[in-house]
Structure 1
Amino acid sequence: MATAAPSAASRIAVVTGASSGIGAATARQLAAAGYRVVLTARRKDRIEALAEEITKAGHQATAYALDVTDRAAVDEFATAFKTIGVLVNNAGGALGADPVATGDPADWRQMYETNVIGTLNLTQALLPKLIASGDGTVVVVSSTAGHGTYEGGAGYVAAKHGAHVLAETLRLEIVGRPVRVIEIAPGMVKTDEFALTRFSGDKEKAEKVYEGVAEPLTADDVADTITWAVTRPSHVNVDLVVLRPRAQASNTKVHREL
């Protein structure tokens, strides 16, 4: 079903964690769908290169270096806008795969700060702008980890459960306002950096995550789902999409061809 182009008041889309993976793919796809995308991430060189790529493709993009856990910086960033139409809270990530008994509290704290407090910071700072647009959308990119536990993942699972509850509660609290709240919860996604970051650059451990899985999700698969949800008619709220590759039945059951 064809959808109308976004209105002028709601044409700006802010994407966090846009320097790679799902964030970068989402920025490309939203730009192609007619949004002026604002790319945020800590790695300024990455988002500037992506903004240039999107602009050369005939779309509109702006890069803004931002650490989502720095509330003062987030508040300053928010002053640049009178209204925005879309906020994609994508910045996050996992660190380590240790059991609860030996997990590093610093890793837990960092995951919570990025996945939950970072999402809270951007959402609080930009919510008045989203409401002012008359047709706003908040997207929270959580994870299947936010909907089920697995051994060795408690710190990440706890953080993504937090992101899920944030989205669910916000939807209840702002009902009646012209803002939708969408949660996209991907399962196994193979990107250049997610598993590598989780295992502190250990390529062997990172590759084992996807070993024998014929077709894990790609960043483009998730970005396509986000863009589809965002571009539904304004009265349609896609509350939650749990997105997995066919080979993954749950967080703990994956078909591997070994």
Structure 2
Amino acid sequence: MADSSTTPVPAKRAVVTGASTGIGDATVRALAATGWTVYAVARRADRLAALAAETGALAVPADITNDDDVAALVAAVTAGGGIDTLVNISGGARGVDPVAEADADDWDWMYRVNVLGTMKLTKAFLPMLRAGRNGTVLNLTSFAALVSYEGGAGYNAAKAAQRAMTQALRLEEVGNNLRVIEVLPGLVRTEEFSLHRLGGDRASADAVYSGVAEPLTAADVADIIAYAVNAPHHVNLDEIVVRPVAQAAAHKIIRASAGD
């Protein structure tokens, strides 16, 4: 019998999407820091190049909603030795309109990026993840998938659909020993999420977090993702809901008053 103290630990290899900013960037850093080989995927090649230089990650610029880009990504990863873990971070929100004033283009974008992008990447990598019999898919959804709120219908709908897909995937792939994890963050302050959602209006984006002493950070969520995928493979953290202490529920966030 092999001495477990001298048996090499298999190298861990992952694709992380949305790697040019926020939680995706932080996840690449967290995994690389614990010895993973990480393929960092996003559209912005300049940001990926900088991230790769800092972390040793492998930069692969790609649009996850584009079939040709997805095929090229799979080819690059295959040539590099494959992966055992897919971390789907790419996503986002656009707009805060009520349904009565909904912008169909915003809804279309949210569905394509959050749902179809996740589907395309997962479908493309499933043969590789199945082959090793110890694959993992981790999807970043949102607390918005659980509780709807005024002005959030488009994002609520997209994230709820992504969550439903994640749950179905877990049932479909358990026979292949595929571990499927869902992380559902609440209020996370990142450099771009609210800014993009609110059309580049910096004052409105900052107001989302106004008075909240300690919203979650991208690094907080990345640490949780790293913990989940570093756990022994037989341990499946099916659903991880994480919010700052100040956010007791979707409708209850503690904010300091202007005089505090």
Equivalent position of 1:78 in the other structure = 74
Q: Name the residue aligned to 2:125.
A: 126
d(CA) in 1 for partners of 2:119, 2:85 = 15
Match of 1:231 in 2: 230
Are residue 7 (structure 1) and residue 6 (structure 2) matched?
Answer: no
Q: Which runs of 5+ in 2 are unaligned?
A: 1-6
Structure 2 equivalent of residue 145 of structure 1: 144
Q: How does 1:92-171 map to 2 (within 5 A)?
A: 92-171=91-170
Post-superposition CA distance 1:133-188 (Å, at most 9, x none): 23111000000001110000000010000110111000001112121000000000
**Amino acid aligned to 1:86:** T
Q: Percent identity?
A: 52
Within-5 A mapping of 1:11-50: 11-50=12-51
Q: Which amino acid aligns with 2:37?
A: R
Q: Structure 1 residues 195 and 104, CA, compared in 2 at 3 Å: closer, same or farther?
A: same
SS in structure 2 of the partner of residue 79 of structure 1: helix
Tell whether 2:68 aligns with 1:69: no
Q: 1:58 — aligned with what?
A: none
Q: CA deviation at 1:31?
A: 0.7
Q: 2:255 & 2:29 partners in 1: Cα distance?
A: 31
Tell me whether 17-26 or 169-178 shows the greater mean CA deviation.
169-178
Deviations 1:183-227 (A, max 9, x none): 000000000111001011101110110011000000000000000
CA distance in 1, matches of 2:166, 2:131: 20
The amino acid of 2:83's aligned partner reads: I
Distance 1:129 1:83 in 2: 7
Can you give the 5+ residue segments of structure 1 that lack an aligned partner in the other structure?
56-60
* Structure 1 residue 6: Cα displacement: 5.5
* Partner residue in 1 for 2:4: none
- Once residues 6 and 184 of structure 1 are traced to their aligned partners in structure 2, the CA distance between those partners, rounded to angstroms, is 26
**SS in structure 1 at match of 2:130:** helix
Moved more, 77-86 or 39-48: 77-86
Aligned pair count reads: 248
RMSD: 1.3
Amino acid paired to 1:70? N
